[in-house]
Amino acid sequence: MSPLSPPEAFTRPGAHWRIEHFLGNDLVETLLSYVEANQSAFVPTTVTNTKGMCVNPNKRVSLGLRDFGVLRDALEERFRAVMNEAVETLRLKPFGLKRLEMELVAHGDGAFFHTHIDTQTGAADDKSFRALSAVLYFHTLPKGYQGGELRIHSLVPATEGGRFIDIIPGRDTLLLFPAWLPHEVLPVSCDSGDFMDSRFAINCWFRR
Ligand SMILES: O=C(O)CCC(=O)C(=O)O
Ligand SMILES: [Fe+2]
């Protein structure tokens, strides 16, 4: 290592924790019915810039829905239940939870989300900050899309010797990582173009 090389902890892909079979098949099927019934309520997702939230197809293309209807409480309960273990596993500084922010996202053909950190893409809210990110993946069977891996980067960018890991979104897999970790969603291709063949996910941000 030359005296100018960054420490290995900064060039290795950031900490993440994966939980399989997080919701169970019944709840996954309920979620699929919910997104199908509410397809028309999905709208283009936003990112945050200096002026606030905006749609920016150069950075993020997907459809989102923030209304979970009667499913909200059951989902919140599942997410809240893993917070403490996630903080320990990811060696985060313990924090008091102010609220959960949740978003349903459909990545269809051509959708992606360029490299970002969630603390910067979140809604401006001077009372709370995103501390921990969780993403629950689901899709119909057989899976109707390709690509869409979640790429988790190191703190040092790849152009400066950093590394990354690609995570294939598994049906009913929850992936947790610190909200300040750089990550991206690689482009999705979906041959049928059907909404129900999308790469579905629930983003859940634990706000401190
Ligand atoms: O869907 C994913 O894998 C991650 C989505 C994401 O990074 C975000 O919405 O902030
Ligand atoms: Fe993100």
Choosing from 42, 60, 203 the residue with most ligand 1 atoms within 8 A of its CB, the one to mutate for a pocket test is 203
Residue 146 included in any domain: yes
- What ipTM score was computed for the predicted complex, to two decimals? 0.99
Residue 182 included in any domain: yes
Residue 30 included in any domain: yes
Looking at the structure of the chain, the number of domains it has is 1
CATH number at residue 178: 2.60.120.620
pLDDT number for residue 6: 80
For the Cβ of 136 lying below 6 angstroms from any atom of ligand 1, the answer is: no
Residue 42 included in any domain: yes
Which is the closest atom of ligand 1 to the Cα of 133?
A: 10
Q: What is the DSSP letter of 198?
A: S
Residue 6 included in any domain: no
Mean pLDDT, the chain, whole residue set? 94
* Measured distance between the N- and C-terminal CA atoms of the chain, rounded to whole angstroms: 37
Distance from the alpha carbon of residue 26 to the mean position of ligand 2, in angstroms: 27
In which domain, by residue range, is 100 found? 12-207
Give the tens place of pLDDT for each residue, 23-75.
999 999 999 999 999 999 999 999 988 788 899 999 999 999 999 999 999 99
Residue 3 included in any domain: no
Residue 52 included in any domain: yes
Torsion of CA 93, 168, 76, 116, to 10 degrees: 50
For the Cβ of 135 lying below 6 angstroms from any atom of ligand 1, the answer is: yes
From CA 147, how far away is CA 129, in angstroms rounded? 30
Residue 2 included in any domain: no
For the Cβ of 150 lying below 6 angstroms from any atom of ligand 1, the answer is: yes
